[in-house]
Amino acid sequence: MDRGRGLPQNGDVKMEGMLRYIVGLAMALGSAASAAGGAPNLMGFGTGGSEAQLKLEAKFDTHLAAERLEERMRRLAGRPHHAGSAAGKTNAHWIASEFERWGFETKIEIFQFLFPTPKVRDLELVEPTTFRAALREPPVAPGATSSGQPDLLPPYNAYSPDGDVTAELVYVNQGLPRDYETLERMGIDVAGKIVIARYGGSWRGIKPKVAAEHGALGCILYSDPRDDGYFQGDPYPAGAFKNVNGVQRGSVVDMPLFPGDPLTPGVGATKNARRLAIDETTTLAGIPVLPISHGDARPLLAALGGAVAPPDWRGALPMTYHLGPGPAKVHLRLSFEWSMAYAYDVIATLTGDERPEQWILRGNHHDAWVNGAHDPVSGLVAMMEEARAIGRLAQDGWRPRRTIVYAAWDAEEPGLIGSTEWVETHAEALRQRAAVYINTDSNGRGFLNAGGSHTLEAFFEELARSIVDPQKQISVAARAHAYRMVRGTPEQREVAQQSDALPLEALGSGSDYTPFLQHLGIASLNIGYGGENRGGEYHSRYDTVDHYTRFGDPGFRYGIALAQTAGHAVLRLAEADLLPFEFGRPAATFSGYVDELIRLTDEMREEHQLENRLIREGHYEAVADPTKTWITPEPRDPVPHLSFAPLRTALTELHEGARRYGVTLEERFSAPTGLPAARAVVVDEILFRVERALTREEGLPGRPWFRHQTYAPGFYTGYGVKTLPGVREAIEQRDWALAERQIGLAAATFSGFTAEIDRATAALGKE
Amino acid sequence: MDRGRGLPQNGDVKMEGMLRYIVGLAMALGSAASAAGGAPNLMGFGTGGSEAQLKLEAKFDTHLAAERLEERMRRLAGRPHHAGSAAGKTNAHWIASEFERWGFETKIEIFQFLFPTPKVRDLELVEPTTFRAALREPPVAPGATSSGQPDLLPPYNAYSPDGDVTAELVYVNQGLPRDYETLERMGIDVAGKIVIARYGGSWRGIKPKVAAEHGALGCILYSDPRDDGYFQGDPYPAGAFKNVNGVQRGSVVDMPLFPGDPLTPGVGATKNARRLAIDETTTLAGIPVLPISHGDARPLLAALGGAVAPPDWRGALPMTYHLGPGPAKVHLRLSFEWSMAYAYDVIATLTGDERPEQWILRGNHHDAWVNGAHDPVSGLVAMMEEARAIGRLAQDGWRPRRTIVYAAWDAEEPGLIGSTEWVETHAEALRQRAAVYINTDSNGRGFLNAGGSHTLEAFFEELARSIVDPQKQISVAARAHAYRMVRGTPEQREVAQQSDALPLEALGSGSDYTPFLQHLGIASLNIGYGGENRGGEYHSRYDTVDHYTRFGDPGFRYGIALAQTAGHAVLRLAEADLLPFEFGRPAATFSGYVDELIRLTDEMREEHQLENRLIREGHYEAVADPTKTWITPEPRDPVPHLSFAPLRTALTELHEGARRYGVTLEERFSAPTGLPAARAVVVDEILFRVERALTREEGLPGRPWFRHQTYAPGFYTGYGVKTLPGVREAIEQRDWALAERQIGLAAATFSGFTAEIDRATAALGKE
């Protein structure tokens, strides 16, 4: 699914705190410099190992060829191949056969999951005029879209309930909580109505969730041309953007609660798993929801009366956007085949010869909503090229030190199901053995975009400095830095002017890293290129090979860059003398998160004070246009001063622990004896469990499946990350007692994290 | 013309410096408090005078009636009545007869001015497809638009040259200097092309001026529906906004150089005035220019190829906005009747009985582009009601202390011609006698919006606190303050939270105050209501009585508020014991302008440094998409540190001088003897010349007509104000030597201003 990739951005993560650490980091990175002078060693490698590793990577590169990416894409994305389809199964078997051919020990693991597909989709405007929505994406120019039979899923939102509702329509902008606050100010209540929301601003599943919370009976989602249609660029097939018929499909299962099969929360959806009944699960959408094109949306929106929408709610359709309710009345009828489908995960293993019990995992999903040339096949074919090249190295007699596991996940689109069920099934083994998970998904021309565990940030920066951008012949790290310098947010620009360090974004959700990172605490990376491949094909019938080869990554040069980036990462992690975790960067980053939370609380306090003054002194009433409805809000309770001291204290200890580890590491690598391999195994096992210390068994408040305490998808953003989510969401929801408790828990988590680092330092320091 | 009225806003004037003064001001305002306690006296009045004045104003109010405003509007705006038309002349004579009837000594002063009207207007798309623009505004629903014959001017831009050009088209956004910088970065040159620019962002005349500077052969202006069409609200006649055929007419004469008749710069365009030949004048537009509707613009824009326009350049037409050049090629043919027309200024005088040689001037124009119900008749009918009420007071035996002059200007729309020629004709008398000029123009429902000389700010604030908002029953000052608290810019909100003082905006241009304030240095006010009357009727055929009475000011309640506001101002100024000028507010405001200039220079320096770094380190090249054209700019010379010390010094003296005047005034009013009338006359004459001290005989660099040193329309904004324009525009144009010289001149100007204040203080202090 992987929406919003392609632009290096930091979400709502601000970078303060980072600056303080950067000078110190530059020293730490050079700490493994070859004792004999010359080029510094690679992180985790001694001098000899570094040289050998660079040779291995160079050899790996010689095995990569762009034309194979295109061939594979034409095969895999030449027809619709959604999870549960015959073509999807065929693809999985072919992918497995390729891995097998390349020398991987390969199997297909099968899960059974609830997968509704549409039987009836019917949307009509019934008042004041009538119109029946087409709800279909016709083929375009010959060759641009496949015929699609028999596996073409029509536009729908998976995990909408069945329903048959008729009600007045209300336009709710993006359908987020703040939009309903605006509606409330304007005296508009959606209870008993059907809402129409434009895509954007959050993961789509948030929109029916919030609509249902406000009493709406149904929810229509549409793609406004302002967001990914003609306002952005020429529509497909002339250009890359969404045409009048294009529809964004997608799941609306409540993934911020838990991803995976709705019937098997927390356990693998194996054949004999204990399953909930459909009416027992908690993640289905609460009200019927249907996605439509802007061609279908236009008559509905045009039939709305009532107040004119606020300026930033208006899209690019040639009309005045009104809010309703009514006079537009719509009839929405949906029913689904509530079937069980099979997910086929391809798992391909190359066992390590020295530390086989340490796993480096690498995955990309293979299922699509329709053809999915971009999402996910562009990432998948690069991953396969990478695996093929590793296979060639192995055919030449090389074996990795650690075990490498490649996975092609099925059923990511319905709800990260293939990866989640596999992780839940193998949770105990993964806890014991998984060192790192590296994810990719859609890929395109442009800039490196990387997110992940900050314990891997220094490692990944070093790696990205050695990958050459195919268009500019500078490193992909340098190009990403240039992006932040020139086009970054004000915060990014400010940080970038001080340092060219490559930050990792914090990860929210939207692809298969979620169960690894956020459920089990396995250090993860999510990597892709993009930003010069914008378009409106996402989850539509028009995400085709034709589209991708013209607008996505012509010549697959960034596919090769991705194979190099992820492939070198796999090779370095598999081969390092010691796993290249580093803890100064997380300490700095987490300090920045705390700075943000303090600022957030202070700003909220000031905003509430001002708002209350505006209410109390009658300014809102004075300004309100008496010809329009305006409901002055109630004053809010003041925002208390929270005690962030426990977090500050824990982070001070973390900084110190990170420093001790760095110093000890440097001493160890520069000592004449180096680090004995047997000792390295022990330290490794401690090292990759350090990330586990950022999880708590009880999970986050109200959603125990999400255990990571520093990164989670937002409960009301869906994909967008919330850092220090327990504390942050308590503050955002104004639950001050919970916020105080969560501060204590986060501080305890950081203390545990520091204790694990100290264990590693101690183990490292022993002779 | 008066574009952009209705929202209280501060343009690019920031409010720092203001805050420092506010506490001091509150004391000064109370300085004239009645020695006997009770309500404070009105500024400029002793105790007895204040009470009498308030009674007079209450009596004045009883003479105001909204229905007369509507009657007058139906008469004056019932048919097209542009300058030079038969209906315009008829209106002038009727207005004069009304003033005469109300007891004013009335005359019509006639000027002859160059006024081109269209003979040929022809615009065709000739490649790659063909389309002929309609260039007409059809009537809408019966009664909503008058038939318009014979005086309906079709859409055109007055003072475009004749021309017949065929060339490729380029979309230049708003056609401002920064837009051409963007085009240059994208490798697009408009030399030899025809440009199409959307209205907005500046006064319209700037657009052909800048296009011609860049070598364009012709210029098309259009109204994008995003700016005042369906994106903003329902189009006329269903709603208030511009429909598919609506066109904004308007002058493109180079008013920032000098306004008034292009053939008589600096002198009155009387019958025997010495005139330039048409080819000698410097203010005609350089290239042919024509305004069109979005209905006519759409096929032209849709035919453009080339790069996609940057996001904030895109409008609300349902298409992808491309820049060109071509393949769209257009043929533009324009020719005009270059006739002389007559302007009929109505001048109505009520001579003062005590200080007849001190004039309080009050004006509103009467000419429109078409029917002009809003612009200018809404302001005009309120002014007439005000004059009628004053006439009724006079009929009851009252006479003003000072002379009151009402003026209904003709030919404002072509270029402030009626007012400018009158001011130039009577310049010497005005220099000697004019105390204050109060201007109004279009008026509507909403918030008080006032600009003017800061020497009048304290006076006007006091007055605005006594006018009751007809919708909210609070003072119009309080409602304007609430606006700044709730909807103001961040700077306005910050200032408003500290103080409820009512700021006057600095005046740029766009209505008839310009010759008074900026040519002669007569302290001026420009007053109106608006912000709840938004619409797209401006300068179109659809600015009708129907439109105004539905969307402008239903019931004319804000027309009455305007008559009260301006009428009370006239009465107070005419009756005050001493003219109520105050100098602490200007001192604070001007200090704020200097703060702004320092910040502007510092920010420019930092921006250039960063920009040069991005160029030097190759970040622009690294970020550029190689499939698109990108021309990296040349590095810029660094911004020097300018010495603002002379300005700071002069302003310190001004603050001190203002304080001395305030203290002396308080002593004088609280002394048992008061201020003898004979002495007050002498002080008055000094007081109203204080504003003159802000002018310099040589005017601004390159535009000697504009003499005021603190307020001028921007050379590249047209209406938008530039405060401390000599210094500011030198900085903006990076002419550092000129900036240093202008700092010296501005400092000398402020010193002269302080010297005049000191003269007034000295005269006031004498027994």
Structure confidence by residue, pLDDT tens digits, B50-73:
999 999 999 999 999 999 999 999
- Predicted pLDDT at A674: 79
**% residues pLDDT > 90 (chain B):** 90
B551 is a domain residue? yes
Residues A556 and A638 in one domain: no
User: Is residue B189 left, alpha or beta, with left meaning phi > 0 and alpha meaning psi from -120 to 50?
Assistant: beta
User: Using the beta-carbon criterion (under 8 Å), do A230 and B320 form an inter-chain contact?
Assistant: yes
Residue A40 pairs with which residues in a beta bridge? A33
B423 is a domain residue? yes
A148 is a domain residue? yes
User: Using the beta-carbon criterion (under 8 Å), do B486 and A619 form an inter-chain contact?
Assistant: yes
B-chain residues within 8 Å CB-CB of A234?
Answer: 308, 320
Q: Kindly report, residue by residue over A146-162, the tens digit of the pLDDT.
A: 776 678 999 999 999 99
Name the packing angle between helices A457-464 and A584-616 (round to 10°). 110
Residues A274 and A351 in one domain: no
Q: Kindly report, residue by residue over B525-541, the tens digit of the pLDDT.
A: 999 999 999 899 999 99
Query: What integer best gives the mean pLDDT of chain A?
Result: 93
A595 is a domain residue? yes
CB A497 within 8 A of CB B610: yes
Give CA–CA dist B142/B139, Å, rounded.
8
Q: Which residue of A has its CA nearest to B481?
A: A619
Nearest to B112 by CA among B269, B266, B336: B269
A97 to each of A100, A139, A205, A570, B215, how far by Cα in Å?
Answer: 5, 32, 35, 21, 65
Beta strands in B496-554 (DSSP E): 524-531
| Number of Cβ atoms within 10 Å of the Cβ of B180 | 21
CB B155 within 8 A of CB B295: no
- Predicted pLDDT at A28: 37
A494 is a domain residue? no
- Predicted pLDDT at A38: 57
Q: Kindly report, residue by residue over B268-278, the tens digit of the pLDDT.
A: 999 999 999 99
- Predicted pLDDT at A4: 42
Residues A84 and A169 in one domain: no
Give CA–CA dist A275/A259, Å, rounded.
15
Tell me which of A291, A307, A339 is where a domain ends: A339
Cβ-nearest to A318 among B316, B613, B621: B316
Q: What CATH number is associated with residue A307?
A: 3.50.30.30
Residue A476 neighbours by CB under 8 Å, 6+ apart? A447, A448, A464, A467, A468, A469, A529, A561, A565
- The alpha-carbon gap from A559 to the nearest alpha carbon of chain B, in Å, equals 17
A638 is a domain residue? yes
B326 is a domain residue? no
Q: Is residue B502 pLDDT above 80, yes or no?
A: yes
Q: Kindly report, residue by residue over B68-91, the tens digit of the pLDDT.
A: 999 999 999 999 999 999 999 999
User: Using the beta-carbon criterion (under 8 Å), do B233 and A308 form an inter-chain contact?
Assistant: yes
What is the SS3 string spanning B401-432? CEEEEEEEECCHHHHCHHHHHHHHHCHHHHHH
Tell me which of A583, A603, A634 is where a domain ends: A583
Structure tokens at B392: 């009724």
Give CA–CA dist B762/B683, Å, rounded.
9
Pairs of residues, one from chain A and one from chain B, whose beta carbons lie less than 8 Å apart: 94
User: Using the beta-carbon criterion (under 8 Å), do A314 and B231 form an inter-chain contact?
Assistant: yes
User: Using the beta-carbon criterion (under 8 Å), do B626 and A471 form an inter-chain contact?
Assistant: yes
B-chain residues within 8 Å CB-CB of A500?
Answer: none
A-chain residues within 8 Å CB-CB of B603?
Answer: none
CB A224 within 8 A of CB A315: yes
Calculated CA dihedral for residues B355, B356, B357, B361, nearest 10 degrees = 110
Cβ-nearest to B614 among A308, A485, A623: A485
Residues A141 and A260 in one domain: yes
Tell me which of A283, A311, A339 is where a domain ends: A339
Residue B437 pairs with which residues in a beta bridge? B361, B524
Give me the mean pLDDT over the B504-531 stretch: 97
Residues A383 and A256 in one domain: no
Residues lower than pLDDT 50 in chain A: 3-36
Mutation site, A475, A557, A619, interface B, largest B CB count within 10 A: A619
Q: Kindly report, residue by residue over A703-718, the tens digit of the pLDDT.
A: 999 999 999 999 887 7
User: Using the beta-carbon criterion (under 8 Å), do A483 and B623 form an inter-chain contact?
Assistant: yes
Structure tokens at B649: 């010094």
Q: What CATH number is associated with residue B487?
A: 3.40.630.10
- Predicted pLDDT at A39: 66
Q: Residue B145, exposed/middle/buried by CB under 10 A (0-12, 13-18, 19+)? A: buried
User: Using the beta-carbon criterion (under 8 Å), do A622 and B225 form an inter-chain contact?
Assistant: no
- Predicted pLDDT at A332: 98
What is the total count of domains within chain B? 1
Q: Which residue of B has its CA nearest to A316?
A: B316
Give CA–CA dist A579/A456, Å, rounded.
10
Give CA–CA dist B249/B230, Å, rounded.
19
Q: Residue ranges of the alpha helices (H) in B3-46? A: 18-29
Q: Which pairs with CB-CB distance under 8 Å and at least 24 residues apart come from B620-627?
A: B620/A482, B620/A486, B621/A472, B622/A472, B622/A474, B622/A478, B622/A479, B622/A482, B622/A483, B623/A479, B623/A482, B623/A483, B623/A485, B623/A486, B623/A487, B625/A532, B626/A471, B626/A472, B627/A532
B-chain residues within 8 Å CB-CB of A320?
Answer: 230-235, 239, 241
User: Using the beta-carbon criterion (under 8 Å), do A486 and B619 form an inter-chain contact?
Assistant: yes
- The alpha-carbon gap from A252 to the nearest alpha carbon of chain B, in Å, equals 30
Q: What CATH number is associated with residue A733?
A: 1.20.930.40
CB A88 within 8 A of CB A81: yes
- Predicted pLDDT at B718: 75
Q: Kindly report, residue by residue over B452-483, the tens digit of the pLDDT.
A: 999 999 999 999 999 999 999 999 999 999 99
Mutation site, B314, B623, B628, B630, interface A, largest A CB count within 10 A: B623
Give me the mean pLDDT over the B578-582 stretch: 97
Residues A532 and A648 in one domain: no
Q: Is residue B29 pLDDT above 50, yes or no?
A: no
B-chain residues within 8 Å CB-CB of A6?
Answer: none
CB B389 within 8 A of CB B567: yes
A398 to each of A18, A352, A574, A680, how far by Cα in Å?
Answer: 40, 10, 12, 21
B-chain residues within 8 Å CB-CB of A622?
Answer: 472, 474, 478-479, 482-483
A492 is a domain residue? no
Cβ-nearest to B317 among A318, A486, A532: A318
Residues A637 and A661 in one domain: yes
Residues A106 and A120 in one domain: no
**% residues pLDDT > 70 (chain B):** 95
B-chain residues within 8 Å CB-CB of A479?
Answer: 622-623
- A517: domain range? 52-112+341-460+509-583
Q: Residue A623, exposed/middle/buried by CB under 10 A (0-12, 13-18, 19+)? A: buried
Residues A162-183 as b/e (b if ≥16 CB within 10 A, e otherwise) read ebebebbbbbbbbbbeebbebb
Structure tokens at B280: 């000698």
Q: Identify which has the larger pLDDT, A712 or B715.
A: A712
Q: Is residue B18 pLDDT above 60, yes or no?
A: no
Residue B334 pairs with which residues in a beta bridge? B121, B163
Nearest to A342 by CA among A720, A85, A710: A85
